[in-house]
Amino acid sequence: MILSIARIRAAVPDSEENNEPNMRLKVLGAYGTHDATHNLTGYLIDDRIAVDCGTMSSKMTLAQQARVEAVFVTHAHADHTRDLPHLVLNRFHQNAKPLTIIAYEEVMEQLMCHYFNGQVWPDFKEIISPSTGHPAVDYRPLSAEKKTTIDGVSYTAIPVNHTVAAAGAMIQIGGQTIVFTGDTAATSTIWKKANRARGVVALVTEASFPNDYNDIAFESGHLTPDAFEAELAKISVDAPVYASHRKLPYERKIESEIRNIRDRRARILVEKQYTF
């Protein structure tokens, strides 16, 4: 029995040997609300590619921020974008290359309309940095499901089911791919793409509310652990599938319900560094 359990655990490792450099995923924030010890959604791949920016400048030194090359934004809600204006401003005053902000084209329209509009925050594309002689940002809107390679990293924006325009991301570096849905209710296209993708080592989705809050989860475009389990049934990839974006008042209950799922791929995303 001990050997059998060990084999099951080894079947979907967080780190495995392969011919490609291992991808490192640093989870700066794994929650849909925050307090002094829990942080809003923000992920960092290999210290240079970010996915969402709810938490970034508040958890990274200026030197660390200067090394970030690109940020993929899944949607414009504040818990996924709170630190983005500050990241741009900090880089404006450093000798750093322009930050590439990447998003599905409809999401980019919302960012430009509601954030970088000269009222809520300046559009740093129009301001020359005194440190570099160049703008501090470069905006890269993506068409749906079209793979785009920027500085050796491939991005595919795949629309998901949320209350505003939103698209998850398939991010490929070398032969490895991580799939992020961002906020979503039940969806399908991103899983179909993931099932056909090369080298998927991890998938990050969400479970925002406990099962007895199914109605509010549905109305707000989110998943419960039961809904998360239903999404797992659509995924044929043999890789860990992480539940992120827990709402803090229900954290322990959501985690307990995720642990009760009878699928060895189901994981709870925590704020630490993973290596795949």
Residue 101, domain CATH: 3.60.15.10
Instruction: Give the phi and the psi of residue 135 in degrees, each rounded to 5.
Output: -60, 155
Q: What is the pLDDT of residues 114-126, one digit of tens each?
A: 999 999 999 999 9
* Residue 207 contacts residue 184 (beta carbons within 8 Å): no
From the list 129, 152, 150, the residue with the least C-alpha distance to 140 is 150
Asked whether residue 3 carries a pLDDT value surpassing 60, the answer given is no
Averaged over 238-263, what is the pLDDT? 97
Question: How far, in Å, CA of 150 to CA of 102, rounded?
Answer: 10
Angle between helices 225-232 and 251-259 (to 10 degrees): 40
pLDDT of amino acid 5: 37
Give percent above pLDDT 90 in the chain. 92
Is residue 9, in this structure, part of any structural domain at all? no
pLDDT of amino acid 19: 60
Q: What is the pLDDT of residues 176-205, one digit of tens each?
A: 999 999 999 999 999 999 999 999 999 999
Q: What is the pLDDT of residues 217-230, one digit of tens each?
A: 999 999 999 999 99
Band (pLDDT 50/70/90 cuts) for residue 12 is: very low
End-to-end CA separation in angstroms for the chain: 27
For 169, counting Cβ atoms within 10 Å of its Cβ (0-12 exposed, 13-18 middle, 19+ buried), the class is buried
* Residue 103 contacts residue 70 (beta carbons within 8 Å): no
Give percent above pLDDT 70 in the chain. 93
Is residue 50, in this structure, part of any structural domain at all? yes
**Taken in order 273, 12, 21, 177, is the CA torsion positive or negative?**
negative
**Which domain covers residue 241, as residue numbers?**
23-271
Asked whether residue 206 carries a pLDDT value surpassing 80, the answer given is yes
Averaged over 109-135, what is the pLDDT? 94
Q: What is the pLDDT of residues 69-86, one digit of tens each?
A: 999 999 999 999 999 999
The number of distinct structural domains making up the chain is 1
Would you list the DSSP string of the chain? -HHHHHHHHHHS-SS---SSPPPEEEEEE-BSS--SS--BSEEEETTTEEEEESSSTTTS-HHHHHT--EEE-S---HHHHTTHHHHHHHHHTTT-PPEEEEEEHHHHHHHHHHTSSSSSS--GGGSB-TTTSSBSEEEEEE-BT--EEETTEEEEEEE---SSS-EEEEEEETTEEEEE--S-SS--HHHHHHHHSSSEEEEEEE--S-GGGHHHHHHTT---HHHHHHHHTT----S-EEEE-B-GGGHHHHHHHHHT-S-TTEEE--SSEEE-
pLDDT of amino acid 20: 60
Q: What is the pLDDT of residues 14-59, one digit of tens each?
A: 444 446 679 999 999 999 999 999 999 999 999 999 999 999 999 9
Is residue 3, in this structure, part of any structural domain at all? no
Question: How far, in Å, CA of 118 to CA of 45, rounded?
Answer: 30
User: Poorest-confidence range of 9-13, 45-49, 105-109, 253-257?
Assistant: 9-13
pTM, full prediction = 0.92
pLDDT of amino acid 175: 94
Asked whether residue 8 carries a pLDDT value surpassing 60, the answer given is no
Question: How far, in Å, CA of 244 to CA of 160, rounded?
Answer: 16
Is residue 18, in this structure, part of any structural domain at all? no
Is residue 169, in this structure, part of any structural domain at all? yes
* Residue 205 contacts residue 181 (beta carbons within 8 Å): yes
Averaged over 167-179, what is the pLDDT? 97
Question: How far, in Å, CA of 222 to CA of 227, rounded?
Answer: 9
Is residue 93, in this structure, part of any structural domain at all? yes
* Residue 262 contacts residue 237 (beta carbons within 8 Å): no
Is residue 35, in this structure, part of any structural domain at all? yes
Question: How far, in Å, CA of 188 to CA of 148, rounded?
Answer: 21
pLDDT of amino acid 17: 45
Average model confidence (pLDDT) across the chain: 93
